[in-house]
Copies of this chain bind each other. A is one copy, B any other.
Amino acid sequence: MRNRERLLETARAMITEHGPGKVTMDGLAERAELGKGTVFRRFGSRAGIFRALLDDDERRFQEQVLSGPPPLGPGADAEQRLIAYGRARIPFLLDHHAIARAAMDHTQPASEDGVGMTQPHIRMLLGQAGLLVPLPLLDSLAVQLTAALEAPLLLYLSMDEAPGPSGSAHLLSESWQVLVERVMRG
């Protein structure tokens, strides 16, 4: 466990200094002053390093949602929490774009860890909001709002270019708020 934390901390420092492109299994072992075998056993592949970093950050994000201060955490009303979730999630996904690309391993099926948390959370908040719509529609509405929030950013994972102006964190966050306010009050 100590080794894992040391390796992840070292990988973060390397990414901050030189970007994800310069992180290799050998380079990481050398800089962390650990054996190459240790790095290999921990992460299996170069992509595995980035997956571990993502998992770590996703876990921290999830903790903020489950038990952090409101309005992202519990204690605010459903509409405010839903707005806060998007306003936190959009920059999180944009900031993690380079790491998420590097974590993609084309020899393995895509992980759905990141996608997994958003839909149940949105579904729960829709339920708490007491919308005047038939119950089964809350499920499909949660599917569609999750797509509205995450798909524009996940789409960039398959591209090399940066998002266009309408894909900026600021605009997507603002229009997410418009969408939520109208859905919740409509």
* Chain A contact patch, size range: 35 or more
Q: Kindly specify which of A28-36, A38-46, A70-78, A147-155 makes contact with the partner chain.
A: A147-155
Residue of B nearest to A176 (CB): B144
Residue of B nearest to A153 (CB): B147
Partner of A143, one of B137, B152, B178: B152
Q: Find out whether the CB atom of B171 lies under 8 angstroms from the CB atom of A181.
A: no
Q: How far is the CB of A137 from chain B (nearest CB, A)?
A: 5
Q: How far is the CB of A111 from chain B (nearest CB, A)?
A: 12
Interface residues of A in 132-186 (CB under 8 A from B): 133-134, 136-137, 139-145, 147-152, 155, 158, 165-168, 171-172, 174-176, 178-179, 181-183, 185-186
Q: How far is B156's CA from A4's CA once the two chains are assembled, in angstroms?
A: 35
Return chain B residues, CB-CB under 8 Å to A143. Answer: 152, 166-167, 172, 175
**CB-based closest 9 A-B pairs:** A182-B186, A147-B151, A151-B151, A139-B166, A144-B148, A140-B175, A140-B171, A148-B148, A186-B186
